[in-house]
């Protein structure tokens, strides 16, 4: 398998953590796509992933899977032990629900702020920007932090008792927020404590 990525970006980080959790990192070839230089818009890469986004997972038969949720779903099901996406119908449903909330309400919101209300990746990459939209997305990200703090008041992880892909997404989203100076509000101690615990996992810290 090959993973097309730009190391250090938040979404590729999500897939790397999932690979570590599943013990699959040594079975993957990482191929760097220089996003700041626009390589993700090249005809060669767009032929693999028309959305022009990283990461993308290329299987040995040439199939290309994009979108972190889909990639994680595939990786988690390879050995029949779905530790990141839920084992029961209820767990799977809750995990996917929280995954979507983590994307829309945090990591994608931070991305909206980065790409529209800051210099982002520069004018050659960003194209048209809407600063007001970006500021709205920043506020949405902060609201997302408040939401996940309330969730983590009564449970160990974002989707319940077990670490899941939703936790990976929230963790990466907070890292992205750090990068663009969107701080976790001081009073969100549940979220901060959870982040410290997750940061100590071998899949994250290694």
- What are the pLDDT digits (tens) for 154-191? 999 999 999 999 999 999 999 999 999 999 999 999 99
The pTM of this model reads 0.96
Position 102 scores a pLDDT of: 98
Which tens digits make up the pLDDT trace of 30-59?
A: 999 999 999 999 999 999 999 999 999 999
**Amino acid 112: pLDDT:** 97
3 state SS for the chain: CEEEECCCCHHHHHHHHHHHHHCCHHHCEEEECCHHHCHHHCHHHHHHCCCCCCCEEECCCCCEEECHHHHHHHHHHCCCCCCCCCCCHHHHHHHHHHHHHHHHHHHHHHHHHHHHHCCCCCHHHHCCCCHHHHHHHHHHHHHHHHHHHHHCCCCCECCECCCCHHHHHHHHHHHHHHHCCCCCCCCCHHHHHHHHHHHCCHHHHC
Per-residue pLDDT band for 124 (boundaries 50, 70, 90) equals confident
Average pLDDT of the chain is: 97
Quickly state the pLDDT bin for 123 (edges 50, 70, 90).
Answer: confident
What is the set of domains in the chain, with CATH numbers?
2-77 (3.40.30.10), 89-201 (1.20.1050.10)
Judge whether 61 and 141 are in contact, CB under 8 Å: no
């Amino acid at each position: 398998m090959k993973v097309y990525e730009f190391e250090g970006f938040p979404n590729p980080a999500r897939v790397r953590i999932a690979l570590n959790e599943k013990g699959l990192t040594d079975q993957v070839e990482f191929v760097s796509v220089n996003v700041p230089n626009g390589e993700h818009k090249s005809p060669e890469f767009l032929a693999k992933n028309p959305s022009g986004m990283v990461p993308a997972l290329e299987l040995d038969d040439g199939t290309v899977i994009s979108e972190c949720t889909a990639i994680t779903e595939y990786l988690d099901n390879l050995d029949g032990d779905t530790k990141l996406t839920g084992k029961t119908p209820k767990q799977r449903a809750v995990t996917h629900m929280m995954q979507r909330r983590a994307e829309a309400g945090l990591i994608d919101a931070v991305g909206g702020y980065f790409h529209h209300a800051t210099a982002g990746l520069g004018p050659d990459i960003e194209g048209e920007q809407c600063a007001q939209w970006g500021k709205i997305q920043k506020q949405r990200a902060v609201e997302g932090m408040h939401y996940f703090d309330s969730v983590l008041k009564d449970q160990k992880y974002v989707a319940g008792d077990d670490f899941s892909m939703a936790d990976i997404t929230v963790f990466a989203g907070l890292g992205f927020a750090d990068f663009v100076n969107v701080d976790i509000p001081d009073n969100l101690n549940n979220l901060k404590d959870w982040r410290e615990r997750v940061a100590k996992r071998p899949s994250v810290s290694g």
